[in-house]
Chains A and B, each alone.
Chain A
Amino acid sequence: MTAPAFRTCPFTSLKVDRHAEMLIRANAVVSVVALLVGAVAAVMLVLTRWQAVHLLPAVWFYRILGVHGMSMLIFFIIFFEMAVLYFASTALLNARLVVPKLAWACFGLMVIGAVMVEWMMWAGKADVLFTSYVPLRAHPLFYLGIILFAVGALLVTVIFFANLVVAKREKTYEGSLPLVAYGAVAAAIIAIITLLHGAAIYIPTFLWSLDLMEVDPQVYRMVWWGLGHSSQQINVAAMVSVWYMLGALTVGAVVLNEKISRSAFVLYVLFISMASAHHLLVDPGMGPAWKIVNTSYFMYMAVLASMIHGFTVPAGMELGQRLRGYTNGMFEWLRKAPWGDPGFSALVFSVVVFGFVGGITGVAIGTEQINIIAHNTLRVPGHFHATVVSGTALAFMGVTYYVIPLIFRKKVAFWGMAKMQPYVFAIGMFIFTMSMTFAGSFGVPRRHWDISFSNAPFDVQFSPAVDVLLAFVAIGGLLAATGAFMFIAIAVKSVFLGEPLGEVTRGRAMAGVPQGLTHPPTHAPNVDELNAALHHPSRGIFGVAPGTLALAGVFLLAFVLYYFVNWKVLSFVWKIG
C-alpha cells in the first residue's frame, strides 16, 4: 500500500488524508445529486396534494412518492453520512484512511445500488413506495439494488471503526475522542444495527420476489421498520454531532459536561433501535406489553437523551458566547450571535424545529393509544419532515457551508443567497410540517392521491379547513423546495466552478467565507474571570446558561400541553379495546 499523502489544513493545522478528502467530496457530490432528484419530486408531490392544482396522474403520484422517499431518506442522507464518517475518523483525529481501495469499492457499490433502485422506480417496476410492504411486489433488481447499497454502507462503517483503531494505535490525537467524533461513533454503531436489520429483511424479500421463499407481512413490517426507523436514528445521532460541531465552529460552543453529553449518546445506542414499534402500535401482530416497552424506548430513555442534547447544545452555545464577553441579561448571547453566518442560522433552526415540532409531535403520535388518532394520517409525515428534513437535512446544509471552504477549499458561491438559504428552507419547512400535522388531525390520510374521493363509491367531504391546510402544505413545501434548490445551486457552483479559497485573513470579512472562519470565535481576555463568575454557586440553578434554561422551560410547557391535548382528543372517540 502506498504511504498516505496528507495536506495540512490552514485553519485547524490538522492533517487531512487525501484519499479521505476525495471520498468526502465524492460522497457529498452524490448526496447533492440525490437531493436534487428528491426535491424535484417534492415539488410535484405538493402540487398534487394541493387539490386545486392536482398536478400528477395517480400512477405517477405514487411512483414519484416512492422516488422522493428513497432519494431523500436513503440516498441523500446516507451518502452525506458516509462523508461525515470519513471526516470524523480521519481529518478530525489527524489520522489516515486505512484501506482507501476498499473505501472506493464501497462507494462504487453504493452508487451502483442507488442507480439500480432509481432505475427500477422510474421505469415503473417498483410501484411499492418507500416501505415496499410485502406482499406488494417490485422487480427483484429493486431489492438487489438496496442490498448492494446497504452492503457498501455497512462496509464503510467497518472502515470507520478500523480508522479509529489505527488512529488510537498510532497516537494521532491525545486524550479521549472529541465529542463530535464520539457522536459519530454512536451514529456508526446504530448504523450497523440498522443495516443488519436491512439485510435481515431485504435478503429474504429479494428471494421472495424470485419465488424462492415466503415472507410474513407482519414480520416484514417489524423487521423492515428496524431498518426504516432506526436509520432515522443514525440521522439523529449524526445530526446532534453536527450540532456540536457547528456550535464549536460558529460561536465557540463549550461542552458543558462531557459525562452528560456522552451518556446521552450511549442512551441512543442502547435504546433507540426499539423504535420499530412506532409503526406497529395499531398492528394486529403484537400485544400491549411489547408495544409499550418498545415504543417508549424502554421508558423513554432515547427521548431523555434528545432532551439532554436539546439543552446542552444551546447551553454550550450560550456559555461559549458568554465567554466571548456577551454576558448581559438573559439573551445578549443570542442577539449578538452571527445570524448572517449560514452555519449558525441553520444550526439554530435545526435545533428549534427538530425539538419543538419534530420531537413533541413524535412523542405524542408514538404513544400506544394516541397512535389510534394518528396512524397513517398526515400527522406522520408532518412529524418526520420536522425531524429529518428541518432537523437533519438543515444541519447538514449548515455544515456544508463549512465543508466547502475547509474540504473543497473553495469560496461559497452566491454568498448573499447562502446567507438567506437557511431562513427560506426553515420557514418553508415550518409552515409545511405544522400544516401537515393539523391536516392529519382531521384524519387526512398520508400517501393518498385524491382526498376529494371523486371516483369513490361513497362520498367523503373533509372540512373546508383541510383545503386551506393542504394549500399551506403546498406553499410551505414550495418555499422549502426553493430553499433546497438554492442550496443545490450554491453547492454545485462552489464545488465545480467555485473560486479557490485563497488567503483568509483573521478579522477581515470575506464574501464566500463563513464568519466562523474569518472571525473564529475567541474568548474574551478575561475568560477565566468570566467563567469563574458564571460557575459561582451564588448563581444557583441558572448558572452558566440562564437563557437556555428559560427556553427549555418554554419547550417543556409546549410539550406537556400538546401531549395532554392529544389524550383529551382521544377520549372523545368510540370506546375501543
Chain B
Amino acid sequence: MTPETHTGLQSPRGVWWKPAHKAEKVWVAIAFGWCMVLFAMMPLWHLKGGQNPSGIRRKVDPEAFFQRTQEFIAQYQIGDDRGMPIVAPPAGSDVYLTAMAFQWTPILQLEKDKEYVLHLSSRDVNHGFSLYPLNINFQVVPGYDYGLRVKPTEAGDFRIICNEFCGIGHHIMVGRVIVLDGAPQAATAETAVVAGGDR
C-alpha cells in the first residue's frame, strides 16, 4: 500500500480513518502528556502553592459595601495622606477596600507576615486591582465582594494601579498600601505619610 500523497485541498478517497505514522503518534503522545502536566499543576498549586485566586466570594450591594468600608475606616483610621484616610487594621482582621472612579479608598497599613482578609469591591464600574511593583492583579467587579486571604511577605510602600478601563480618569486612579516590618508605633504612621511621595 502506497501512503497518501494528497494535499488538504483534495478530497481523500475512500475511508480516511487510517493508522497514523509513528512520528505523529509519538508527538501526539508527548503533547497529551504535557497537557496532563499543565492540567495537574493547577490543583497541585491549590494544595502546595501559596498563591491562589480562590478567596471568599459573595454578592453584595455596592452601596452596602461602601458603607462597610466607611465603618472600617472609622474603626481603624490612624491618619490621612492628602485627605485619603490611612487605616491600620489589626492582624487577622477583615480589611475593606472600595474602588470607585477614580480612587481606591482607603490607604491600608498592614504588617509584614500577618494574614488579613482583603475584601475588594467596586462602587460603580469594573476596576482592576494591580499591586505595584509586585504585579499582583485582581478584577474588581461591582456587586461582588472578593475576600482574599493575603499575607504580605515584604515591607514597603506599595501602590494600587487601576488596570481595568473605568472611564476618562482611569490613568490617575492610584491607591496606596503600606506594609510595616513589625508592629506599628505611634510615630510610624507619620513616617509612612512622609514616605508616600511628595507630589
Give residues in A with beta carbon < 8 Å to B. Answer: 58-59, 62, 92, 127, 129, 133, 135-136, 173-180, 183, 216-218, 221, 241, 244-245, 247-249, 252-262, 280-288, 291-292, 295-296, 299-301, 303-304, 307-308, 311-312, 315-316, 320, 323, 363, 367-369, 371-377, 441-443, 445-451, 453, 455-460, 462-463, 523, 527-528, 531-532, 535, 540-545, 549, 552, 556, 559-560, 563, 567, 570-571, 573-577
Contacts and interface: CB of A to CB of B under 8 A. Distances in A.
Contacts of A300: 35-36, 38-39
A311 B11 contact: no
Given A218-B144, A445-B161, A459-B197, A574 B134 contact: yes
10 contacts: A133-B126, A179-B9, A221-B141, A248-B10, A255-B4, A285-B141, A286-B57, A288-B54, A292-B39, A445-B163
Given A450-B171, A540-B22, A284 B3 contact: no
Interface string B31-53: 11011101101110110011111
B49 A571 contact: yes
Contact of A178 (B11, B31, B140, B152): B11
Given A296-B39, A376-B128, A549 B7 contact: no
B142 A135 contact: yes
Contact of A457 (B140, B167, B168, B172): B172
B78 interface: no
A136 B141 CA distance: 12
Contacts of B152: 574
Nearest to B2: A528
A458 B125 CA distance: 22
B70 interface: no
A291 B110 CA distance: 30
B125 A136 contact: yes
B170 A372 contact: no
Contacts of B72: none
Contact of B175 (A129, A253, A312, A458): A458
B84 interface: yes
Contacts of A286: 57
B124 interface: yes
Contact of A367 (B36, B41, B55, B151): B41
Given A136-B125, A450-B171, A576-B52, 20 more contacts: A179-B8, A217-B126, A217-B141, A254-B7, A257-B18, A288-B46, A323-B5, A368-B52, A369-B51, A372-B136, A372-B138, A373-B135, A445-B128, A447-B170, A449-B171, A457-B84, A542-B23, A543-B23, A573-B134, A575-B51
Contact of B20 (A256, A301, A369): A256
Interface residues of B, number: 100
Interface string B129-170: 011111111111111111011111110000101111111101
Contacts of A552: 27
Nearest to B38: A300
Contacts of A312: 24
A255 B21 CA distance: 12
Contacts of A296: 38-39, 42
A556 B22 contact: no
B126 A367 contact: no
B174 interface: yes
Interface of B: 2-14, 16-18, 20-24, 26-28, 30-32, 34-36, 38-39, 41-43, 45-46, 49-55, 57, 81-82, 84, 103, 115, 120-121, 124-126, 128, 130-146, 148-154, 159, 161-168, 170-176, 196-199
B54 A255 contact: no
Interface centre among B20, B36, B165 (most CB of A within 10 A): B165
A284 B94 CA distance: 17
B50 A571 contact: yes
B42 A368 contact: yes
A330 to B, nearest CB: 13
B20 A257 contact: yes
Contacts of A375: 128, 137-139, 163
Contacts of A178: 8-12
Nearest to A302: B35
A357 to B, nearest CB: 18
Nearest to A368: B42
B9 A245 contact: yes
Given A175-B13, A369-B49, A58 B171 contact: yes
A216 B143 contact: yes
B54 A367 contact: no
* Most central of B23, B35, B141, B145 by chain A CB within 10 Å: B23
A150 B153 CA distance: 49
Contacts of B9: 92, 178-180, 244-245, 248-249
A567 B49 CA distance: 9
Given A296-B38, A457-B84, A376 B22 contact: no
Contact of B150 (A301, A320, A567, A574): A574
Contacts of B34: 307, 556, 559-560
A258 B12 contact: yes
Given A445-B128, A448-B170, A576-B150, A457 B82 contact: yes
Given A376-B163, A559-B34, A576 B53 contact: yes
Contact of A531 (B5, B81, B144, B163): B5
A136 B168 contact: no
